[in-house]
Amino acid sequence: MTMLTIEPVACLSDNYAYLIHAPDAGLCAVVDPSEPAPVRKALAAHGLKLTHILNTHHHFDHTGGNIALKEEFGAEIVGPAKDRDRIPGIDVGVTENAPWQFGSRSVRVLEIPAHTRAHIAFVFDDDHAVFTGDTLFAMGCGRLFEGTPDMMWNSLSKLMRLPDDTRVYCGHEYTLNNGRFALTLEPGNTDLQSRMEEVRALRAKDQPTIPSTIGLEKRTNPFLRPGAGEIRRTLAMPGATDIEVFAEMRRRKDAF
């Protein structure tokens, strides 16, 4: 099995769709197409024909290109079964117990609710890649539109159990702002400091900061680090539970 190629496609103001090309299988999927035009252009640039559309959740900035791309390419739309009614044009509904096949690859689905109640991640184990939509961002996490802090903590904990070398492909370029917030909580984290230098340099050249890895997120993303001593000292919550610390960080980020 040759490795997949995965390419970010910038959409709208700060969204990423991703082209996933399996050359051995002659398949090409797009994850979370916000709009059709940039996806069409990226496909044409590589001479690829779209076969699948994968959606992590129903929000318009992740599904806005579904119908146009489906009509144009006859692509099959795969999304969370529990949100059939809100995924435009959905053909195949997936759950954690019903994984999905991309050619000969078995793709695992993780149910990671809280940003929306049916949000999922697609895990390509053989290729060490996960598509996390608006649940896990580089140095951040999604807003709690349809869930509670403990739901989100549980969802993030599922993602944290993936191998450290798993590449994380998220739905938005929010990294710089997320990192600035992270530094308010954990200014002494040297991994965070050096990551921020890299992120600033990339953004100054208008380059994506994606992908990161699960290991890097565990070292630098405050939302995965509610047990960290410095974070607890900043928040003056020494004896709180991880969920309480997580909830307080999420509250502060909403107002950051």
Task: Answer yes or no: 46 catalytic.
Answer: no
224, containing H or E segment: none
Residue 64 or 171: the one with the smaller Cβ distance to Fe ion is 171
Q: Are 137 and 222 in contact (CB under 8 A)?
A: no
Under the criterion CB under 5 A, does residue 58 sit at the interface with Zn ion?
Answer: no
In angstroms, how far is the first alpha carbon of the chain from the final one?
45
Least Å distance, CB 133 to Fe ion, is 7
- The DSSP call for residue 25 is T
Instruction: Collapse the DSSP code of 49 into the 3-class scheme (helix H, G, I; strand E, B; otherwise coil) and give the result.
Output: coil
State the Cα–Cα distance between residues 202 and 55, nearest whole angstrom.
27
Distance CA(64)–CA(40), nearest Å, equals 13
Confirm or reject binding of residue 59 to Zn ion (CB under 5 A).
yes
**CB of 140 or CB of 226, closer to Fe ion:** 140
* 119 near Zn ion, judged by CB under 5 A: no
Catalytic residue among 21, 52, 57, 58: 57
Q: Is 236 left (phi over 0), alpha (psi -120 to 50) or beta?
A: left
Beta carbon of residue 254, minimum distance to Zn ion (angstroms, whole number): 15
59 noted as active-site residue: yes
Chain positions contacting Fe ion, by CB under 5 A: 61, 134, 171
58 an active-site residue? no
The reply to whether 134 sits near Zn ion by the rule CB under 5 A is yes
| 167 binds, options Fe ion, Zn ion, none, Cβ within 5 to 8 A by partner type | none
Mind telling me the catalytic residues? 57, 59, 61-62, 115, 134, 172
